[in-house]
Chain A
Amino acid sequence: MAPRVQRDPDPCLPAALGVDFGSRYVKLVYGAGERPLRRAVDSLEFFRRGLVREEGGIRLNWDWLKLPETPAVVVTGYGKHLLKAHFATITEVRASFLGAKASSGLEDFILLEMGGQDTKVLLVQGGQVMDFLTNDRCAAGTGRYLENMARFLKMPLREFSRAWEEPVEISQTCAIFGESELIGHLLTGVPPVRLAAGVNASVARRALALVRRYPPLPLVLAGGVAKNRALVTLLKAAGRRVLVPPFPQFLGAWGCYLEARQRLAQEAVS
């Protein structure tokens, strides 16, 4: 991921690691300079093998990660409390904000981050987080929901994510009821691609409902769902300027990495 604005404070400093514990994958950004390594590890696998439980807490299994150990680690996401004793942590909102600001080069934007279970909306004005929303109580419209729907329609996710024309109306946003609604349409002979388009349109509607609370600033779309091309098309069709950073699912880990680099540089100075 190539940042356009925020440069590495000092590429000669030792390596740093940013970790984002997501619900589906743990994302890692490791290295020095502007082209660090990226890696996504299945969350369960990471919990099982990437962490070592020992007396005095939990540490990272550097051997298994095949990374040279570094003390410069910043962590965010659900697992951050586990590692709080050993590493610096930042909130998910701050991590995403830092990543989005660096990768978009913008000072005024709305970040719409749609991950495996979580949706976050951040209003950024003058380079600061002014407000944020997160989904609560319901994971409809997130990555897991889209994966379920694609699996249900027996469509590869790539194909599913391109469908946006002639959408059928999907009224249910509940993942389970959504499936029974799809059955109803399938029985009347609607082709699966139109159903996929309907699901994508319902996700776009939800996303727009969230971002419309804020001024019409450019949308930085991130999280795994940002790879859904249909969603991008539909958001643009609704009149929004949409930017998808490269590797949009690494935004939080990227923000942690930048924070870790920044802290290294500060330590070097003092």
Chain B
Amino acid sequence: MPGSLSRLLSPGSKVGLTTTIPVEVVLAAGLVPVDLNNLFIASPQALQWVSDAEAEGLPRTICAWIKGIYAALAQHPEIRAVIAACQGDCSYTQALGEILASRGVTVVHFNYPYPRDKARLAQEMAEFMAQLGAEPAAVAALQAKLAPIRQALAELDRLTWETGQVSGRENFLWLISSSDFEGDPDSFALRLNNFLQEAVTRPPVKDGLRLGLIGIPPIFTDLWDHLEELGAQVVFNEIPRQFSLPHHDGDLTEQYYHYTYPYDITLRLRDIAQAVAQRRLDGLIHYTQSFCFRQMYDRLLREHLQLPLLTLEGDRPGPLDSRSRMRLEAFVDVLR
């Protein structure tokens, strides 16, 4: 299609994602999706990257994930195009997109409609396909191809909360990787199936406190391990699970219509309440990012979820600080 991203870039080119967007479309356009958040947080230099971004003029008082994305792109000049989701993620992404565009990066927007609206989402989806140069038939084929992987991720999630054979940290890492399938769904599927085959041979874990982690993915590196040391298991990673699109019935629009993250909180509250009951959670940890608008949801979560809730705030990447450790320890102690 003339002017589309697939015309602009050669097949197999990497395209950066600022959050989870319909990755089927990117793949159907012959491009390789790279979740920039994962690129940032997986780097041993993550903390340095945030400082680098600040040295280039990004304010200290904005979300570190945005600065991390910015710096990740500076480190990866081969990524010449970015899909920015502003509506449905955050307005920092809007300014980030403009800064990137001024640096010569091609920025394509995908906006989740707010308020949630299926017709508008379908329209957005059609425009997105056109902008990327993905044929509807190819997109449908990709959706069918990813469906068993999404099902395998749902199985992995079940092994976390039902049998305890998959740890909270493993659960987090696999689910969070489903935003881009690490750029290669085939090899992702292979590794995932191998992992599952091994996991089912593990002895079930039944004891310990059962916690849910809600809110955006934590920037802390050792949260799950620390909780395990305290005798608590994370058996629900709310947003990473949503990234895996656990509602995979219907067409692509339907699938992303049931995705809870980008819309109003009502949908999230319903999803969390369901998990609390099904997964028999003892308590919730609400992770909030410093300077993120989603911190304001803390109040609504506390009002609507009748379960002990600890709010944990993180700013920069790295291990838990001593105050956060103290708070987690006290929370686990109180639940016991």
Secondary structure dominating the interface of B? helix
A83-B89 Cα distance, complex, nearest whole Å = 45
* In the complex, residue of chain A having the shortest beta-carbon distance to the beta carbon of B326: A92
Q: A78-B322, A136-B313, A136-B323 in contact; A93/B308 too (CB < 8 A)?
A: no
Choose one: A91, A129, A131, A137; the contact of B315 (CB below 8 Å).
A137
Q: Does A94 contact B (CB under 8 A)?
A: yes
Q: Which chain B residues lie closer than 8 Å to A90 at the CB level? A: 333
Interchain CB contact under 8 A, B313 and A137: yes
A78-B323 Cα distance, complex, nearest whole Å = 9
Q: Does B182 contact A (CB under 8 A)?
A: no
Choose one: A91, A118, A131; the contact of B333 (CB below 8 Å).
A91
Interchain CB contact under 8 A, B290 and A94: no
A136-B311 Cα distance, complex, nearest whole Å = 10
Choose one: A91, A129, A130, A137; the contact of B326 (CB below 8 Å).
A91
Interface residues as binary, A5-25 with B (CB distance below 8 Å gives 1, 0 otherwise): 000000000000000000000
Q: Which chain A residues lie closer than 8 Å to B331 at the CB level? A: 132
Which among B308, B323, B334 has the greatest number of chain A C-beta atoms within 10 A? B334
Q: Does A180 contact B (CB under 8 A)?
A: no
Q: Which chain A residues lie closer than 8 Å to B322 at the CB level? A: 78
Interchain CB contact under 8 A, B313 and A91: no
Q: Does A125 contact B (CB under 8 A)?
A: no
Q: Does A134 contact B (CB under 8 A)?
A: yes
A99-B330 Cα distance, complex, nearest whole Å = 16
Q: Which chain B residues lie closer than 8 Å to A118 at the CB level? A: 323
Which among B330, B331, B333, B334 has the greatest number of chain A C-beta atoms within 10 A? B330
A93-B322 Cα distance, complex, nearest whole Å = 15
Chain A min CB distance to B130 (Å)? 45
Interchain CB contact under 8 A, B333 and A94: yes
A91-B327 Cα distance, complex, nearest whole Å = 9
Q: Does B228 contact A (CB under 8 A)?
A: no
* In the complex, residue of chain B having the shortest beta-carbon distance to the beta carbon of A97: B334
Interchain CB contact under 8 A, A93 and B323: no
A259-B189 Cα distance, complex, nearest whole Å = 53
Q: Which chain B residues lie closer than 8 Å to A131 at the CB level? A: 308, 334
Q: Which chain A residues lie closer than 8 Å to B327 at the CB level? A: 134, 136
Q: Give A244-266 interface residues, CB cut-off 8 Å to B.
A: none
* In the complex, residue of chain A having the shortest beta-carbon distance to the beta carbon of B308: A131
Interchain CB contact under 8 A, B290 and A91: no
Q: Give B139-175 interface residues, CB cut-off 8 Å to A.
A: none
Which among B311, B324, B326, B331 has the greatest number of chain A C-beta atoms within 10 A? B326
Chain A min CB distance to B281 (Å)? 16
Q: A78-B322, A136-B323, A137-B290 in contact; A93/B313 too (CB < 8 A)?
A: no
Which among A78, A91, A94, A131 has the greatest number of chain B C-beta atoms within 10 A? A91
Interface residues as binary, A166-206 with B (CB distance below 8 Å gives 1, 0 otherwise): 00000000000000000000000000000000000000000
Can you add 12 more A-B contacts, CB < 8 Å, to A94-B330, A134-B326, A134-B327? A78-B326, A91-B326, A91-B329, A91-B333, A92-B330, A93-B334, A94-B334, A131-B334, A134-B330, A136-B323, A136-B324, A137-B290
B→A interface (CB under 8 Å): 290, 308, 311, 313, 315, 322-324, 326-327, 329-331, 333-334
Can you list 21 A-B contacts with CB-CB less than 8 angstroms, sorted by A residue number? Answer: A91-B333, A92-B330, A93-B330, A93-B333, A93-B334, A94-B330, A94-B334, A118-B323, A130-B308, A131-B308, A132-B331, A132-B334, A134-B323, A134-B330, A136-B311, A136-B313, A136-B323, A136-B324, A137-B290, A137-B313, A137-B315
